[in-house]
Amino acid sequence: MSSTPALPAPIVPAGPPARRLADPMHELYLQASYDTALEIADEYEWIALAFHDRETSRGVLQARLYVLTEMGRNTGAEAFGRALLGRVVSRVAQAKASPDLADVLVRLGRLEEGLHLLGVAMNTLETCPRDWRYYSALSSIVEPARWVELYELAEQASVADPQWMANPERRAIHAGQRAECLLEWALRLEHVGRTEEAEVRYQEVITLMRPWADPAATTELDADHSLRVATLACALAKTG
């Protein structure tokens, strides 16, 4: 199953000339325009560094990591993930970069390294304020946890305070990521005969996805619409 992207970290640039420069790359990533995002990455990072805007430079690096991961180019993604982790300037940034790299490592089959980074992220988040950056970092834990079938952890990490989800695109990403996690967990529970527990999670998937499966839903994430519909359809089929 394709995955809904993790919530990108917000860009808070240090200098006005490169303000919000990483945003177009994140938007291209969210729209699944991966080749275009990579085409502009070199130029955007060069401009950010020229203006000494390290925060935006890290945002471009993060976008590269996400794009390459989605394209299955995990060796390149690992290199950017390690570079990103080496540039963190705060605890919450470390808590975001650690599971992003862990996601790549578990996809490469390096579970011990990936689980170690997940542990680092979870311990670090305990000391971080519960703001938008916290929930962005928390969302990055979901994907590697799913890959190693730690569904309880993935489900817990997919919960966010509604006050930080005012933006429709953020809500759509968050709902999609949580629904995919619950659907995958439900399918696994059903497979081992725990049908009542699976049913509860199927129903939650339906509740989450109904509003976003409507083509009129207020979001520009058109690339994810078919995935949202498929997720809803699977849950509906499973519940009869």
> Tens of pLDDT along 206-236?
999 998 877 665 555 556 778 888 999 999 9
User: Is 20 inside a domain boundary?
Assistant: yes
Q: Of all residues in the chain, what percent carry a pLDDT higher than 70?
A: 86
Q: What is the CATH number of the domain that holds 73?
A: 1.25.40.10
pLDDT at 7 over 60: no
Widest distance between CA atoms in the chain: 58
Evaluate whether residue 74 is within a structural domain.
yes
Say if CB 53 and CB 14 are below 8 A apart.
yes
Would 46 be classed as within a structural domain?
yes
Residue 58: band (very low, low, confident or very high) from pLDDT cuts 50, 70, 90: confident
In the predicted structure, residue 89 carries a pLDDT above the cut 50: yes
Quote the domain boundaries for residue 14.
Answer: 1-130
| Mean pLDDT in residue range 103-125 | 95
Q: Is residue 188 part of a domain?
A: no
Q: What angle do CA 167, 168, 171 make, to 5 degrees?
A: 90
Average predicted confidence (pLDDT) for the chain: 84
Under 8 Å between Cβ of 4 and 226:
no
Q: What pLDDT does residue 6 have?
A: 58
Number of domains in the chain: 1
Confidence of residue 17 (pLDDT cuts 50, 70, 90): very low
| pLDDT computed for residue 221 by the predictor | 53
The answer to whether residue 105 sits within a structural domain is yes
CA dist., res. 123 & res. 103, Å (int): 17
At 3, the pLDDT band (50, 70, 90 cuts) reads low
Per-residue pLDDT of 72-82, as tens digits, reads 999 999 999 99
* Per-residue pLDDT at 189 exceeds 90: yes
71, two tokens: 């394209």
Q: Can you tell me the distance from the alpha carbon of 149 to that of 70, in angstroms, rounded to the nearest whole number?
A: 19
pLDDT surpasses 50 at 11: no
Is 153 inside a domain boundary?
no
Higher pLDDT, 184 or 87: 184
User: What is the SS3 assignment for 33?
Assistant: coil
- Comparing 44-58, 110-124, 184-198, the range with the smallest average pLDDT is 44-58
